Structure 1
Amino acid sequence: MVDIGIKSLLNRGVLAGWRWLDQIGKVTPGTRAAAGFGSFGADSTIGFPAATLMNTGAIHIGTGVRIGRQATLSVGYWPDYPGVPERGLVIGDRCVIGDRCGLVAHESIELGDDVWFGQDVFVCDASHGYQDPDLPIGEQFGTHDPVRIGSGSWVGHGAIILPGTTIGRNAVVAAGSVVRGEVADHCVVGGAPAKLLRRLKPGVGWVGRRGDVRPVRRGHFGVEETGSESA
Structure 2
Amino acid sequence: MSVHGVLRRTLSALVHRGWSVLRAAGEVTPASPGGYRFRRLGEGARLAFPPGAVFGEQWIEIGEETLVGERVSLSAGMAPGADLGPDGIVRIGRHCSIGRGGHIVGHQSIDIGDHVFTGPYVYITDQNHVYDDPETPIGRQWPRNNPVVIGSGSWLGTGAIILPGTRIGRQCVVAAGAVVRGEFPDHSVIAGVPARVVRRHVPGHGWLPPHLAADGSPGALTTPGLTVLSDGAVTSGTP
Q: Which of the five TM-score ranges fits, normalised by the shorter chain? A: 0.7 to 0.9
- 1:48-80 Cα offsets, whole Å, 9 max, x none, are 011111110000011010110000110000001
Q: Which residue of 1 aligns with 2:64?
A: 63
Q: Check the 8 A contact 2:121/2:158 in 1, yes or no.
A: yes
Q: Distance in 1 between matches of 2:164 and 2:68?
A: 22
* Residue 104 of structure 1, CA deviation: 0.2
Task: Give 1:158-169 correspondences, 5 Å limit.
Answer: 158-169=159-170
Q: Check the 8 A contact 1:128/1:142 in 2, yes or no.
A: yes
> CA RMSD for the aligned pairs?
1.7
Describe the shift of the 1:174–1:107 C-alpha distance in structure 2 as closer, same or farther (beyond 3 A).
same
3-state secondary structure, aligned to 1:203: coil
Q: Does 1:29 align with 2:25?
A: no
Describe the shift of the 1:84–1:55 C-alpha distance in structure 2 as closer, same or farther (beyond 3 A).
farther
Corresponding residue pairs, total: 212
Q: Distance in 2 between matches of 1:74 and 1:175?
A: 23
* Residue 206 of structure 1, CA deviation: 1.3
Q: Check the 8 A contact 1:57/1:86 in 2, yes or no.
A: no
Report % sequence identity: 42
Q: Distance in 2 between matches of 1:108 and 1:92?
A: 14
Q: Check the 8 A contact 2:131/2:138 in 1, yes or no.
A: yes
Q: Check the 8 A contact 2:59/2:84 in 1, yes or no.
A: no
Q: Check the 8 A contact 1:149/1:167 in 2, yes or no.
A: yes
Structure 2: segments with no counterpart, 5+ residues = 215-239
3-state secondary structure, aligned to 1:14: helix
Q: Which residue of 2 aligns with 1:180?
A: 181
Q: Distance in 1 between matches of 2:138 and 2:14?
A: 48
- 1:181-203 Cα offsets, whole Å, 9 max, x none, are 00100111101111111111223
* Residue 9 of structure 1, CA deviation: 2.3
* Residue 87 of structure 1, CA deviation: 0.7
Task: Give 1:39-78 correspondences, 5 Å limit.
Answer: 39-78=40-79
Q: Which residue of 2 aligns with 1:131?
A: 132
Residue identity opposite 2:202 in structure 1: K
3-state secondary structure, aligned to 2:139: helix
3-state secondary structure, aligned to 1:78: coil
Q: TM-score, normalised by structure 2?
A: 0.84
Q: Which residue of 2 aligns with 1:110?
A: 111
3-state secondary structure, aligned to 1:93: coil
Q: Distance in 2 between matches of 1:55 and 1:116?
A: 23
Q: Which residue of 1 aligns with 2:237?
A: none
